[in-house]
Structure 1
């Protein structure tokens, strides 16, 4: 049985083929009378017609695909961000191709080369480092890029991030109000904008609130991982650093802090309060449920996709950076220090 064509749909709906095409394309549907669009949609459904994205891409010189480049697919931060991306791309007739880099620059280049060979119309990238030659190269080639949850220095590229500095100020302020003065920051990688922004905000807030400014109260991590979080906390103890609370650079580092506390026979929050950052799913199921700074995951992804589609439609559109608000979610992992 021959598949129905766009012309068949147009005839069934009693409209011109071009009108049927506009009615079935989410990007041009607004150009068609609402009643006509509904009639065309009903005709397409009754005939079992589905648009041919390859044919449409040949007409528009676009592949209608977007590359989504993630540093670690196992990080629970990213699925809700990807959902926001997809929920914005799909109504516009686009689809996303997701690749994982494992935080490996060589793998990242190979994956991006693969995406570009598939003629993606742009890239949403969550792997940006402060010094990122590949991004510079892609930008020079005119590849449409939006960074998500990351920024990069000295490059005019659009980015969507949570307000990291405000989130850290809120976290430190929460602990200070509980009475904590010696707060350890388990800091994210200094090679990323997120790590740098959050550690700077931590130091600034400690100074503003007149808390202990001991340089040893910043425990650096090479990766945003549970294992590195545990290692950093153990290293702080090994150096003799004392603290009653931890502000972790992200929730995975906070989970590593939990591991280190258990390994030392300590209790959270009786011995050490812990607060994370990002608001990953299932934090309320931990023992104890983790206090965290929540970020608008879905909105971050949706905004990044929207900005990239705008850049594809208008190549001369200037880049812009968007900061989205964070919020404090208080659970059972934070309380006043013992004896305090």
Structure 2
């Protein structure tokens, strides 16, 4: 008696995961599989004479058609456009998204991932990739959970794919713009260094200014990516002895907003006394006072690309390991201008590069 052909046999011949075979051979889920992949599966099934068991197939497909999205702060204006991009890709494919907010807390993030996993989501898109969350992400990776990082990179123990803007290029564009305007005393207000995005931007700034003659530069870390934290950090800088910076590069637009508030509070003008550059080009950045010069990130496209990578991994049954950096651009508005000819004030020298 010949051995019965199984779904594993078809998967081996087609060189896909058996879950992909189940989806490709089920009329209700066939559109979840790329056309060429589905045809390869069908051809393998024909060659082997595979006849699916309808009841077993229904159990094996085991899809919920839901995707979990975990973000650190729903009040941060960069995340709604990212979620919109994700939905633009997922909704036409029949998926529903479930969004969880963590407020930047590791324990809340772990609980959110566990809760969504119990709801049998088919995968996650995480915007909360701290560099100190290796344990939880490594556990998810070991369990074979499909995850794509968005606007962040995963910790070393969880080699998940990531989609972000080109942070190094963005810092370079900002720096070149300020240098062309004649600025020589530059302050970089970096975000928390346990986030891959803010750390990579700070590292890019330090690398790009290293060895440039005639520049005085300083890097000050801001504890949170908020306007309040940016304002407090700039207050400390403006109250310290020494020459003022002629320009400030901020880790993101919210920090830049805080800088603008602090500059006004100290009786200074932007850009006449201090120029300010942000990062992200969040909604309403052009409505700041003055309108903010900032690095534009294609946030909707970042979300859409993350969703496409996640779907490809789910459909093929194999996790992706790609790192995608989308192009960025500099939007020049009224918060930057020529460097002032003379300056009084302070910039803490202890942090000078």
Q: With the length of structure 2 as denominator, give the TM-score of the two structures.
A: 0.79
- The offset of 1:262, in angstroms, is 1.4
- The offset of 1:285, in angstroms, is 1.5
Q: What's the CA shift string for 1:147-203, capped at 9, x where partnerless?
A: 000013423110001110110011011001100011110101111111111011111
Corresponding position: 1:223 with 2:224: yes
Mapped to 2, the partners of 1:146 and 1:300 lie a distance apart of 11
Q: In structure 2, do the counterparts of structure 1 residues 291 and 237 end up closer, same or farther at CA, with 3 Å as the change threshold?
A: same
Map 1:77-226 → 2, pairs under 5 A:
77-132=78-133, 133-154=135-156, 155-207=158-210, 209-214=212-217, 217-226=218-227
Q: Are the aligned partners of 1:151 and 1:159 in contact in 2 as well (CA < 8 Å)?
A: yes
Q: What's the CA shift string for 1:241-269, capped at 9, x where partnerless?
A: 52010100100000010111111111111
**Paired residue total:** 294
Q: What stretches of structure 1 of length at least 5 have no aligned partner?
A: 1-20, 32-55
Mapped to 1, the partners of 2:84 and 2:214 lie a distance apart of 40
Q: In structure 2, do the counterparts of structure 1 residues 156 and 265 end up closer, same or farther at CA, with 3 Å as the change threshold?
A: same
Q: What's the CA shift string for 1:25-57, capped at 9, x where partnerless?
A: 7547979xxxxxxxxxxxxxxxxxxxxxxxx98
- The offset of 1:236, in angstroms, is 1.8
Corresponding position: 1:63 with 2:55: no
Q: In structure 2, do the counterparts of structure 1 residues 283 and 57 end up closer, same or farther at CA, with 3 Å as the change threshold?
A: farther
User: Residue 23 of structure 2 corresponds to which residue in structure 1?
Assistant: none
Q: What stretches of structure 2 of length at least 5 have no aligned partner?
A: 1-25, 37-56, 343-353
Corresponding position: 1:283 with 2:253: no
SS at 2:238 equivalent: helix
The correspondence for 2:304, drawn from 302, 305, 324, is 302
Moved over 6 A (4+): 28-31, 56-59
- The offset of 1:317, in angstroms, is 4.6
Stretch moving more, 228-237 or 160-169: 228-237
User: Residue 345 of structure 2 corresponds to which residue in structure 1?
Assistant: none
SS at 1:175 equivalent: helix
Q: Are the aligned partners of 2:286 and 2:292 in contact in 1 as well (CA < 8 Å)?
A: yes
Mapped to 1, the partners of 2:289 and 2:184 lie a distance apart of 24
Map 1:14-25 → 2, pairs under 5 A:
22=27
- The offset of 1:23, in angstroms, is 8.9
Mapped to 1, the partners of 2:119 and 2:28 lie a distance apart of 28
Map 1:23-62 → 2, pairs under 5 A:
27=32, 60-62=61-63
Q: With the length of structure 1 as denominator, give the TM-score of the two structures.
A: 0.82
- The offset of 1:239, in angstroms, is 3.0
Q: Are the aligned partners of 2:184 and 2:216 in contact in 1 as well (CA < 8 Å)?
A: no
Q: What's the CA shift string for 1:207-235, capped at 9, x where partnerless?
A: 25435244xx1111111111111111112
Corresponding position: 1:259 with 2:257: no
Mapped to 2, the partners of 1:29 and 1:218 lie a distance apart of 47
SS at 1:67 equivalent: strand
Q: In structure 2, do the counterparts of structure 1 residues 120 and 28 end up closer, same or farther at CA, with 3 Å as the change threshold?
A: closer
Q: In structure 2, do the counterparts of structure 1 residues 95 and 152 end up closer, same or farther at CA, with 3 Å as the change threshold?
A: same
The correspondence for 1:320, drawn from 319, 322, 337, is 322
Mapped to 1, the partners of 2:132 and 2:140 lie a distance apart of 14
SS at 1:68 equivalent: strand
Q: Are the aligned partners of 2:146 and 2:319 in contact in 1 as well (CA < 8 Å)?
A: no
SS at 2:276 equivalent: strand
